[in-house]
Amino acid sequence: MPSPDQIPAEPAAILDALDPEQREVATTFDAPVAVIAGAGTGKTRAITHRIAYGAHTGALDPRGVLAVTFTTRAAGEMRSRLHQLGVGKVQARTFHSAALRQIQFFWPRAYGVELPEVTDRRMSLVAEAASRHGLKVDTGLLRDLVGEISWAKVSNVTAGEYPAIARAANRTLAGADPETVAKVFTGYEAAKRNRGQIDFDDILLCTAALLSEHDEVADQVRAQYRHFVVDEYQDVSPLQQTVLNLWVGERRDLCVVGDPHQSIHAFAGARADYLTGFALAHPGTKVIRLVRDYRSTPQVVELANKVMAPRRAAQLAAHAVGKAHQLHGVNLVAQQPPGPEVEFGSHPEEADEARTIAQWLKARHDEGVAWREMAVLFRINAQSPVLEAALSQQQIPYLVRGSDKFYERPEIKQALAQLRAAVRAEPEGPGLPLLKDVLAGVGWSVEPPEGSGSVREKWESLNALVDLAHDITVENPEHGLVELVAALGERAALQEAPVSQGVTLGTLHASKGLEWDAVCLFGMQEGTLPFVLATTPEQIDEEKRLLYVGITRARRYLRISWSRSRNGGRGNRGPSRFLDGLTPAALAQAAEQAAKAPRRKSRRTAQSQTCRVCGKGLQTGAERKIGRHAGCPSNYDEELLARLKEWRLRTAQAASMPAFVIFTDATLVAVAETEPRSEQELLRISGVGRTKVERYGQALLAIVAGEDPARDDTLPEA
């Protein structure tokens, strides 16, 4: 990988830091651009260098660029990199931050009143609305109601429409039916109006209304921002897409970046089809795929690729031709040197699994891996306490990662306010000891408090601030408190959150965008992953992508484990279905069965009798030919299948014969799934015999390789 970002002496120097695919991203300005960026492939590097190169060559005006992402941390990292590249005037913001700035400025001019206050008390307002309808809510149900109302708003669903749409989308809450949710939704909106307030989601709703209703405002915004880059585009909601469309207007200067394999927020309203269908919605799109994984070892990358191999459900095969322009995730190519094999562990119960993980973490630390470079990830927050107990027993420092933005946490706001007040007293002496004295007054101590909960979480935040101050002092030992607080302020402005000195504990969802040297995936058993409430094919697919995200967080060490029971007793839980065939035990069993199998089989017995996805028996000849049920996930490339069918139709028409005589649909699906690279591999596919290989083999292999076979070569001999 090229050297880290540096301020370039000339535009060409910007490209020196990029690989060929990243360079293509940085130099393409004549069309809409869709970047399909696999995990660890350097997408932030590619898009920041694109902006920098465009600015230095005159292809774009940095003051007219709006780079949009989903977290303040990501926006801060983008601003920091752009500053290093000499383009500090670019606006890099979250959707909500960019929208809020616009409506705060234009709302009084357009409507003659100030923008309503943005409330951060959604929980209490929803609780008030729920109580008016006689609904007794605990904290869990209250959070579910807040989340469901937010989903409806970002999905452009009104309270009146909610019951029917929620049922159609299979959205259910344990403590409230859809009609009750709609009533709470209506009451919540009324409570906000009565107080003259808007909420977080209303920021985008107000932006959409303002730009739609006032052409002169929309024209001013479009005159200001002429070049758009959208990161994590697989996470865009319908409401965000609406705002983006209003920002962009009729222009084509739009670059979107995302990964369909990391689409894990559909439950919150995200729509990955905006990314997968981008080329179809924007004719002339340049699609660039980043496949070189600079993060993880080949062992980690191989497992990630295998997990995602079955990408689409078989029922999409009938629509493959119509979706030939759909964009799919990439197959990663590891760039790091080999590392240790991925470890798997089966345990009798959760407590034993947690203790083993603590020992594994300690062993990695003894090998030189810092605590801050390790993480334990799980599916739901309820899995955390048993881990916290095991790590505390081994005296391993840890941090439970939440969803709050670091610099917006109440304890951090209070700490920074106290530090600014202390600076006004003009203290003398080394900065770090003075900072610790100030923070001791708001709850920080050298040793962590006993147990877990809110007190522990507050201490973790304050201790992370102390660690950050320590890092600054190491680089600048002469800093007094004034300089140290100023440096902290700069990082707060860029949203550069500190890294904990302990092991990170967090959900798979919260791990998105992060990486560590060593990662444990805890509780990866069936019923937990996929989660028991995931029932539809779309929900199951999203659960698989969660596993993929967890795996690709690891740079070098990866351990995946599960337990047969939760609290002892006779357990019957097995590993997640997504690990079928991938654990060492499964691989060894498959090898043993293959060794015992007869060398030659008839064509009939060579066909699969059980589904390679779910393990249940197959019923029809077509199912046995492709080795799985029609409803079980497939791993074919839709675009490849479409090209195979197009070739088959062309060949059949030229020979005046039915298309199925060339090859059946099931055989073409099998070709698309196995992607054969030689005639020998073609012959292993049921439905492809020696005669058909002689007639059509070269054409099939050319299509699989991405080439367009000559038409004459595909015709059968007379």
Reported as a single tens digit per residue, the pLDDT across 611-634 is 655 555 555 555 555 566 655 656
> Average pLDDT, stretch 133-160?
87
Q: Return the pLDDT at 614.
A: 56
Apex 354 CA angle, 348 and 358, nearest 5: 135
Contact 311, 329 (CB under 8 A): yes
Which secondary structure element, helix H or strand E, spans residue 410, and what is its range?
helix 410-424
**Other beta carbons within 10 Å of 21:** 18
**Other beta carbons within 10 Å of 109:** 12
CA distance 590 to 586: 6
CA distance 285 to 360: 47
CA distance 55 to 43: 18
Decide whether 11-99+204-292 matches 343-402+503-585 in CATH topology: yes
- DSSP strands (E only) in 294-401: 312-313, 333-334, 343-349, 374-378, 398-400
* pLDDT of residue 642 exceeding 60: yes
Reported as a single tens digit per residue, the pLDDT across 464-523 is 788 788 878 887 888 888 888 888 887 776 555 566 678 999 999 989 989 999 999 999
| pLDDT confidence tier of residue 405, bands split at 50, 70 and 90 | low
In angstroms, how far is the first alpha carbon of the chain from the final one? 54
Domain residue spans of the chain: 11-99+204-292, 120-198, 343-402+503-585, 406-493, 635-714
State the CATH architecture for 11-99+204-292. Answer: 3-Layer(aba) Sandwich (3.40)
* pLDDT of residue 572 exceeding 80: no
Contact 628, 314 (CB under 8 A): yes
Q: Return the pLDDT at 197.
A: 92
CA distance 174 to 152: 17
Q: What is the dihedral sign for C-alpha 639, 643, 649, 652?
A: negative
Contact 330, 586 (CB under 8 A): no
Fold of 343-402+503-585: Rossmann fold (3.40.50)
Fold of 120-198: Arc Repressor Mutant, subunit A (1.10.10)
Q: Return the pLDDT at 237.
A: 94
Q: Return the pLDDT at 632.
A: 64
Reported as a single tens digit per residue, the pLDDT across 416-433 is 888 988 888 778 788 898
Q: Return the pLDDT at 422.
A: 87
Q: Which amino acid is at 500?
A: S
At 37, give phi and psi (nearest 5°).
Answer: -110, 110
* pLDDT of residue 36 exceeding 90: yes
* pLDDT of residue 695 exceeding 80: yes
CA-to-CA dists, residue 372 to 449, 464, 694, angstroms? 19, 11, 58
Give residue for tokens 């699989």.
Answer: 704
Across-strand partners of 117?
Answer: 197
**Other beta carbons within 10 Å of 623:** 21
pLDDT above 70 covers a percentage of the chain that reads 84
CA-to-CA dists, residue 445 to 407, 436, 600, angstroms? 20, 8, 71
- Return the closest-CA partner of residue 518 out of 559, 546, 562: 559
Give residue for tokens 């990630």.
Answer: 304
* Helix, coil or strand: residue 189: helix
Radius of gyration of the chain (CA): 28
Give residue for tokens 């675009």.
Answer: 639
Q: Which CATH class is domain 635-714?
A: mainly alpha
Q: Return the pLDDT at 155.
A: 93
Q: Produce one character per residue of 195-225: b if its CB has 16 or more CB atoms within 10 Å, e if not.
A: eebbbebbbbbbbbbbbeebeebbeebbeeb
Contact 503, 371 (CB under 8 A): yes
